């Protein structure tokens, strides 16, 4: 598309549509600026004023989009992690021909994402901000809820096809997540500096999925 056509389309948009585009562009600029500042200064040392200066927006504009530094921190991490999340946590609802291998791949990707620097930073912030339930709800809706719904659909399909014995997939989905993370939770809760090797991820995923199948197959 050449620039004249693009300009024509932009100027042909109604006021509401154009305002929406501009609003999203401003929000994206703030998120990108915040991600840069947080990387350099860390969460504790970063100020909203520094982010405002980096984004080149007014204080009113910044707080209009993000009322608190905590919310902006989570949103900026989720923004950076969104592509990785969708790439790594792909749920193909029809891919039950080799359910065990499919769950193995999902388990490995879930571990890589959850225990990446971004994943750990988000979860540790949520733990330290337990008195702010709105922050947890925001994070849940943006990421984990989508994965949960997709996993429930996958497990229900496997039940319908007879690959898993009849049960409530809401329960088995919780069990599956717990098994996948069982060997790694100390890293999160105690801040252990344990290297997350591919060998460990693959072996732990194998153990988790084997245990799951022991419970949920006839």
Least confident of 39-43, 89-93, 118-122, 156-160: 89-93
What are the structural domain ranges in the chain? 1-67, 69-218
**What is the rounded distance in angstroms from the CA atom of residue 179 to the CA atom of residue 204?**
9
Query: What is the chain's mean pLDDT, rounded?
Result: 83
Residue 24 has a CB neighbour count (10 Å cut-off) of 10
CB 179 within 8 A of CB 208: yes
Question: Of 12, 13, 138, which is closest to residue 68 (Cα–Cα)?
Answer: 138
Least confident of 62-71, 141-150, 171-180: 141-150
Its CATH class, for the domain covering 1-67, is: mainly alpha
Q: Residue 212: pLDDT above 90?
A: yes
Q: Which CATH superfamily is domain 69-218 in?
A: Tetracycline Repressor, domain 2 (1.10.357.10)
CB 208 within 8 A of CB 182: yes
pLDDT value at position 96?
A: 67
E strand residue ranges, the chain? none
**pLDDT, tens digit, 9 for 90 and up, residues 184-194:** 999 988 888 88
Mean pLDDT of 103-107: 92
1-67 and 69-218 agree in CATH topology: no
The pTM assigned to this predicted structure is 0.70
**pLDDT, tens digit, 9 for 90 and up, residues 148-186:** 898 999 999 999 999 999 999 999 999 999 999 999 999
CB 50 within 8 A of CB 41: yes
Q: Residue 86: pLDDT above 70?
A: no
């Amino acid at each position: 598309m050449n620039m004249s056509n693009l300009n024509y389309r932009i100027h042909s948009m109604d006021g509401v549509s154009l305002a929406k585009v501009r609003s999203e562009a401003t929000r994206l600029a703030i998120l990108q600026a915040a991600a840069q500042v947080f990387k350099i200064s860390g969460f504790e040392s970063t100020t909203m004023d520094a982010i405002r200066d980096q984004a080149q927006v007014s204080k009113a504009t910044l707080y209009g989009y993000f009322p608190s530094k905590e919310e902006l921190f989570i949103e900026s991490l989720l923004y950076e992690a969104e592509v990785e999340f969708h790439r790594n946590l792909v749920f193909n609802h029809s891919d039950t021909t080799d359910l065990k291998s499919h769950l193995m791949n999902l388990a490995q990707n879930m571990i890589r994402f959850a225990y990446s620097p971004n994943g750990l930073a988000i979860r540790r912030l949520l733990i330290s901000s337990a008195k702010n339930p709105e922050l947890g709800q925001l994070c849940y809706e943006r990421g984990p809820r989508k994965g949960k719904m997709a996993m429930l659909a996958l497990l229900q399909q496997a039940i319908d096809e007879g690959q898993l014995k009849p049960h409530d997939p809401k329960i088995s989905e919780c069990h599956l997540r717990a098994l996948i993370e069982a060997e790694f939770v100390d890293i999160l809760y105690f801040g252990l500096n344990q290297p997350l090797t591919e060998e460990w991820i693959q072996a732990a995923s194998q153990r988790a999925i084997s245990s799951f199948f022991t419970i949920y197959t006839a």
